Amino acid sequence: MTEKRENWGSRFGFLMAAAGSAVGLGNIWRFPYLTGMNGGGAFILIYLGCVALIGLCIMTAEFAVGRRSGLAAVGAYKSVSDKWSFAGALGVLSGFFIMGFYPVVGGWSMAYIAKSFTGLLAVPEAIGDVFGGFISAPVEPLVWMVIYLAINVFIVSKGVQGGIEAAGKVMMPLLYVLLAAIIFRTISLPGAGEGLKFLLAPDFSKVTGQTFLAALGQAFFSLSLGMGCMITYGSYLNKEEKLPANALIVTTMDTSVALLAAVAIFPALFAFGIEPTAGPGLVFIVLPQVFAQMGSLGPVFSALFFLLLFIAALTSSVSLLEVVVAYLIDQHRMERKKAVYITSAIMAVMCILSSLSMGAMSGFKIFGVGFFDFFDILTDKIFLAIGGGLLAIFVGFFMKKEDLKDELTNGGTVSFPAFELWYNLTKYVVPVIIAVIAISGILAIEQKSLMIFGLLIIAVLAVFSKKL
Ligand code: PHE
């Protein structure tokens, strides 16, 4: 390679970038609505189990694989065995597909910052219709999506230290401040206690096999795992960093933001007597109704909340774009700027299809769903869990135990007392649990043709792995 590979500038910078990747729409947009739809506290318990047992092991493993090889997803697998390139390629493809809908929602959050001040809150009864009208419009959401994607292009084209790390260092602390302000306001609403009860008292009657798949998929999605993102970020880490400690910090930060987002949202819902099962529209329809009842400060809190959502989304989508860009740089020697432009242009096309699938193209279905759901279900329900399972098998059975120990203890200079526990969990327990949940969950996916298509893609990648 002509240029020296990039590195993070500081530990703080890396942590903000990695936590920035993890904390995203998954925490603030998706986690609350999944919790609402899956029985509150029961879903949270299952989710926490997935994070602690599986997420933490896989995050540690991804950091180790990334730093050991010093390469992004495909290269990292390939450095051990050509046959495994497909697992990395599956990750790159997942990054692509998630970026086929993520910037659409990122654009919504930007639009809602502006809308907070332009009359959105004036007629609370109309907020639901406003959202429906907005996301199904042919032009307005596309404009916001393009602006959103352009900001991603700007950051990622500036590189690891000057772009991604610099953005994370400013935005992540701001995110925590904003979240604290919102929680402070919503938790002091009269009637908020009911919402807290919903979160703390588990209702297991809503739990099915699909609940477990939803929790597992959400754990991977929220922690940015199963698609080579943390491999890529780990590949920019210097040899002095302690990997297990960093994995623990990032996992804790991500989980705490998800829980805090739920604490910010549910008390407010219950305080205003609103149903928690609203689905994906939850934060865009229900929360503005709450803000509308806050009087003159309503627009300010509303704008702050959507700014928070935007910041969270941005530091995540930047990492998704980086997974694909880093692959092109590492494996195809492409120049960074060129890789960013080409990749984001394709993503823009996918996002246009996703956005239009909410309105003008709502009648157009592939494998029984619109484009938005196509990209979402394929990644979140199928690819990420399988990607994570493959990584665990790869680490457990195809990498040398001594190499892993060497990497996780920085050549024996720092201690990692839980190494044996981590190793055995990752090798034997994690793949089995993922297999059980994924197989039963994936087979039960309603859209059978989509499920078969997803599995077929993985098979095709496996066959052509050597060319990647
Ligand atoms: N973790 C991000 C979120 O919660 C999404 C993401 C998934 C980012 C996979 C990178 C890789 O929104």
For residue 334, count CB atoms less than 10 angstroms from its CB and return exposed for 0-12, middle for 13-18, buried for 19 or more.
middle
Structural contact between residues 384 and 225, judged by C-beta atoms closer than 8 angstroms: yes
Residue ID of nearest Cα to ligand 1 atom 6: 224
CA-CA-CA-CA torsion sign (402, 405, 406, 407) = positive
Q: Where are the alpha helices (DSSP H) in 236-297?
A: 243-271, 287-292
DSSP string, 313-362: HHHHHHHHHHHHHHHHHHHH---HHHHHHHHHHHHHHHHHHHHHTTTTTT
Q: Name the percent of the chain in helix, strand, coil, to the closest 5.
A: 80, 0, 20
Ligand 1 pocket member 316 (CB < 6 A)? yes
Q: Where are the alpha helices (DSSP H) in 161-207?
A: 166-187, 192-200
Structural contact between residues 109 and 310, judged by C-beta atoms closer than 8 angstroms: yes
Q: Quick one: pLDDT at residue 363?
A: 84
Q: Which atom of ligand 1 is nearest to the CA of 23?
A: 4
Ligand 1 pocket member 324 (CB < 6 A)? no
CA-CA-CA-CA torsion sign (272, 275, 276, 280) = negative
Q: Which two tokens stand for residue 126?
A: 């109309």
Looking at residue 190, its amino acid is P
Cα 306 to Cα 284: distance, rounded to the nearest angstrom: 9
What residues are paired with 202 via a beta bridge? 40
Cα 61 to Cα 231: distance, rounded to the nearest angstrom: 8
What residues are paired with 369 via a beta bridge? 366
Residues 6+ apart with CB under 8 A from 288: 112, 116, 120, 121, 124, 127, 302
Q: Which atom of ligand 1 is nearest to the CA of 25?
A: 12
Cα 66 to Cα 59: distance, rounded to the nearest angstrom: 11
Q: Is 207 left (phi over 0), alpha (psi -120 to 50) or beta?
A: beta
Q: Which two tokens stand for residue 145?
A: 């999506």
Cα 215 to Cα 280: distance, rounded to the nearest angstrom: 16
Cα 327 to Cα 95: distance, rounded to the nearest angstrom: 11
Q: Which atom of ligand 1 is nearest to the CA of 316?
A: 8
Q: Quick one: pLDDT at residue 3?
A: 58
Task: Calculate how far, in angstroms, residue 225's C-alpha sits from the geometric centre of ligand 1.
Answer: 8
Structural contact between residues 465 and 413, judged by C-beta atoms closer than 8 angstroms: no
Q: Quick one: pLDDT at residue 4?
A: 74
Cα 415 to Cα 405: distance, rounded to the nearest angstrom: 10
Q: Quick one: pLDDT at residue 351?
A: 97
Provide the 3-class DSSP secondary structure of residue 369: strand
Task: Calculate how far, in angstroms, residue 201's C-alpha sits from the geometric centre of ligand 1.
Answer: 28
Structural contact between residues 179 and 10, judged by C-beta atoms closer than 8 angstroms: no
Cα 160 to Cα 326: distance, rounded to the nearest angstrom: 10
Cα 236 to Cα 11: distance, rounded to the nearest angstrom: 11
Cα 172 to Cα 402: distance, rounded to the nearest angstrom: 36
Tell me which H or E stretch contains 385: helix 384-393
Write the CA distances from 319 to 16, 18, 40, 160, 314, integer angstroms: 12, 8, 30, 10, 9
Residues 6+ apart with CB under 8 A from 139: none
Domains (ranges, CATH) in the chain?
11-467 (1.20.1740)
Q: Quick one: pLDDT at residue 340?
A: 97
Structural contact between residues 7 and 17, judged by C-beta atoms closer than 8 angstroms: no
Provide the 3-class DSSP secondary structure of residue 40: strand
Cα dihedral value 78, 84, 86, 87, nearest 10: -100
Residue ID of nearest Cα to ligand 1 atom 10: 224
Cα 464 to Cα 53: distance, rounded to the nearest angstrom: 33
Count Cβ atoms below 10 Å from residue 324 Cβ, excluding itself: 28
Q: Quick one: pLDDT at residue 65?
A: 97
Q: Which atom of ligand 1 is nearest to the CA of 312?
A: 12
Task: Calculate how far, in angstroms, residue 36's C-alpha sits from the geometric centre of ligand 1.
Answer: 20
Tens of pLDDT along the chain (468 residues)?
445 788 999 999 999 999 999 999 999 999 998 898 888 899 999 999 999 999 999 999 999 999 999 999 999 999 999 889 999 999 999 999 999 999 999 999 999 999 999 989 988 888 888 999 999 999 999 999 999 999 999 999 999 999 999 999 999 999 998 888 888 888 887 777 888 888 888 888 888 888 888 899 999 999 999 999 999 999 999 999 999 999 999 999 999 999 999 888 887 777 777 777 777 788 898 888 888 888 888 999 899 999 999 999 999 999 999 999 999 999 999 999 999 999 999 999 999 999 999 988 888 888 889 999 999 989 988 899 999 999 999 999 999 999 999 999 999 999 999 999 999 999 999 999 999 988 887 887 788 889 899 999 999 998 887 766
Task: Calculate how far, in angstroms, residue 145's C-alpha sits from the geometric centre of ligand 1.
Answer: 17
Q: Quick one: pLDDT at residue 213?
A: 86
Cα 463 to Cα 468: distance, rounded to the nearest angstrom: 11
Q: Quick one: pLDDT at residue 2?
A: 46
